[in-house]
Structure 1
């Protein structure tokens, strides 16, 4: 299902985002399949592509930016095997010679954080909406509350977010709040030594602290996904055309003619 619209009063999506009066209406399934095919065509493995495609759908439903994020990341998908390396000390540091973007690198980092006892650093990574999508997706898959904190190279810390397995998201006002993971004190200096980045960790608190600011509830997620599944999503034409074109590279071309038997 793909529908064009040129005048759509009240739309909340433009640039994959806000206040658009034009766009393309597509089914959630179309977005997932196009993302998966484009990633496979770009060189991702089947597992990487499937997980990243789910994040693209999540980002499009919640923020109207999933497609745009993938379009930005496609040219950083490595072809063939490009293994990650991990340095262990106060924290686990994922080194990626291929410089994957957050849609591909975020899931293994978050799953490592969920399974391990120490925080995981994505060195020199910046804070983007995909960080939060990754928290939501991984917390649900692993049934593990996860927290992410941005650490800057000058030893200051940026925003922090917490996601619970039911899909709720909370924003911490600063890394010194009770939402920050217990390793931040020693991990902060270690992260700065690696140039900063995004720290991911299990949430080990027995109860959610009262100073967290709710950002999204599981009920809000359900409402958005229900509407998206029923009505499709309006997406920006430019990024969707780029993604759809990239996805067609996955198809095996038909021969110009069929030879006679």
Structure 2
């Protein structure tokens, strides 16, 4: 495998074990991109998803798990991956086949930012991958985003907030002022609602901050990122189904 890091450091917080492998950050991203592209995802979607997978693996250790789950869904259907967009008077609705926050999240977030209008990811209630894409988008745009989980009856249950400062807050209570914006009819079957709105200054402490993420990224660039060996072997094999030179998507 290319770019695999084999050196160790006493400063590394995660000691090497028999069931984990240390990799360069770039290799995680490249393998995610190639595996998704080989599975039929467009170049643009695969690039955005690969960035999200890398961030999730680096900061939450869930990136490769999310990648493999998405690839399983893509491989289990004979229909090509695709997305549909509809709207009513209150909200835009994004529906992706197969259902995947990793693939449909970027479209929903970009729509919410570009038009300041709520966007519903239909029937996607696990929005961790969407959160990580939204965090980067919020930082770049200087806008705070709410990602609100809706149950099957359209009632909000919890929310993640990502701020323009690059902080992520989880399990945030929906404020009274937002109630009209997050009331969705149950015909849509719940999901994740993405919308722009201010964040209360007295909110809970963030679970991720821009400073913490920058520190971890710099450490990973120097010393690598750990991935479960068996899961990485599978992801790497799926990526080899279609090898793509880096220059084709930079």
Structure 2 match to 1:185: 180
SS in 2 for 1:214: coil
Shift of 1:137: 2.2
- Which is higher, the Rg of structure 1 or of structure 2? 1
Which residue matches 2:234?
Answer: 242
Rounded Cα–Cα distance in structure 2 between residues aligned with 1:20 and 1:3: 14
Moved over 4 A (4+): 10-13, 78-81
3-state secondary structure, aligned to 1:84:
strand
Q: Where does the alignment leave 5 or more consecutive residues of structure 1 unmatched?
A: 14-18, 253-261
Work out whether residues 42 and 75 of structure 1, in 8 Å CA contact, stay in contact via their aligned partners in 2.
Answer: no
Q: Which shifted more, 86-95 or 22-31?
A: 86-95
**Kept after mapping to 2: 8 A contact 1:173/1:213:** no
Unpaired stretches in structure 2, ≥5 consecutive residues:
245-250
SS in 1 for 2:159: strand
Establish whether residue 69 from structure 1 lines up as the match of residue 85 from structure 2. Answer: no
Q: 1:128 to 1:237 in 2, by over 3 A?
A: farther
Aligned residues: 236
Normalised by the length of structure 1, the TM-score is: 0.80
- 2:91 matched residue in structure 1: 91
CA RMSD of aligned residues (A): 2.7
Of residues 119-128 and 49-58 in structure 1, the stretch that sits farther from structure 2 once superposed is: 119-128
For the residue of structure 1 that corresponds to 2:94, the secondary structure is strand
Q: Residue 82 and residue 154 in structure 1: after superposition, are their counterparts in 2 closer, same or farther (change >3 A)?
A: closer
State the secondary structure of the residue aligned to 2:124. coil
Distance (Å, rounded) in 1 between the aligned partners of 2:191 and 2:240:
34
Which residue number in structure 1 is paired with residue 189 of structure 2?
A: 195
Corresponding residue for residue 24 of structure 2: 27
In the TM superposition, residue 4 of structure 1 has moved relative to its aligned partner by: 7.4
Query: Structure 2 CA distance, aligned partners of 1:202 and 1:114?
Result: 7
In 2, Cα distance between the equivalents of 1:73 and 1:188? 29
Question: 2: distance between equivalents of 1:37 and 1:20?
Answer: 27
For residues 1-261 of structure 1, the aligned pairs below 5 Å read: 1-2=3-4, 12=14, 22-77=19-74, 82-96=82-96, 98-175=97-174, 177=175, 182=178, 184-190=179-185, 192-203=186-197, 205=198, 208-251=200-243
After TM superposition, the structure 1 stretch with the greater mean CA deviation from structure 2, 130-139 or 216-225, is 130-139
